[in-house]
A = this chain, B = another copy of it.
Amino acid sequence: MTTKIAPWIFTASCPSIIGTVDVVTRYMAESGHYVDEIHSFDDRESGRFFIRVEFLPKKEGFSASVFDQEFSARAKDFNMEWALTEPNHRPRVAIMVSKYDHCLNDLLYRFRTGQLNIDVTVIISNHPDLEELAKWHRIPYYHLPITAETKLEQEAQVKSLIEQYDTELVVLARYMQVLSPDMCEYLDGRAINIHHSLLPGFKGARPYHQAWEKGVKMVGATAHYVNNDLDEGPIISQGIQVVNHAHYVEDLVAKGQDIERVTLFNAVKCHIEKRVFLNGKRTVVFGG
């Protein structure tokens, strides 16, 4: 069997009107690009259109800037937001953690084995505990402690690191601090958080304790974009794990970890493959 050739990815969204698919696919065909896969969706509720195209450009002389110029001319009546992503684009990712390392360990494993096509450029933590893990992966680790008094100051340092490392995506891999509204806004749309419950159930602190108190028969995890509302950002992916009466809180914590890391991985993978679109408070996820 052959190996899949990495395609270019075109993504766009705009208000739903006639011709939205056509303007894309016609340009592809007339330019000699080979369309490998299309997903599109018109949301009747929000009245928005979303499209993701994987394509292989014509053999020679493909230029993204020519694509830009030519497609802009055609798309100008559609009020379209669109983007082109080159094959094997490898976003620069900053990971923020506290003490739990299961998500970090998982992301680093997939990073070093190539399962996640990202470049983890920096790890930032409010605790020193996970430095050795970072070191072994040869990734700079910044320990930036935080208190109620120093929150804004610490966040300023975080921002400065995010910029210094030219970061495209921030992953909150069990970073156990509530971000300030300013920080949330700063990260809007480019930070993914993992919360250890099936949101909107069990928002806030100690969700496994809450879940245990309620005697639930399933615990879950939710990966979502960061926004201003605590644990209310648009959901990208969710996972669940069956539990029973014999599981104490510490068992829920342990069992939940496998779901958390896979759920976070799925969200990051979908995000970097440009499968996720914001749609108001919801998301569209193609082929996730």
Contact = CB atoms under 8 A, between A and B. Distances in A.
A15 to B, nearest CB: 13
A20 B34 CA distance: 9
Contacts of A284: 245
B254 A234 contact: no
A37 interface: yes
B32 A42 contact: no
Contacts of A220: 198, 218
Interface string A144-158: 000000000000000
A121 B191 CA distance: 40
Interface residues of A, number: 75
A45 B238 contact: no
B198 A285 contact: no
A70 to B, nearest CB: 15
Interface string A216-250: 11101000000000000011111010001110111
Contacts of A43: 245
A39 interface: yes
What is the predominant secondary structure among interface residues of chain A facing chain B? mixed
B213 A41 contact: no
Contacts of A119: none
B34 A29 contact: no
A214 interface: yes
A21 interface: yes
A215 interface: yes
A128 interface: no
Interface string A85-105: 000000000000000011001
Contact of A245 (B4, B20, B36, B279): B279
A60 interface: no
Interface in A10-53: 18-26, 28-30, 32-45
Given A21-B29, A38-B40, 6 more contacts: A19-B29, A21-B38, A22-B28, A115-B254, A245-B284, A246-B287
The 10 closest A-B pairs by CB, nearest first: A215-B282, A22-B29, A201-B201, A25-B25, A245-B284, A217-B238, A38-B40, A21-B35, A22-B25, A19-B29
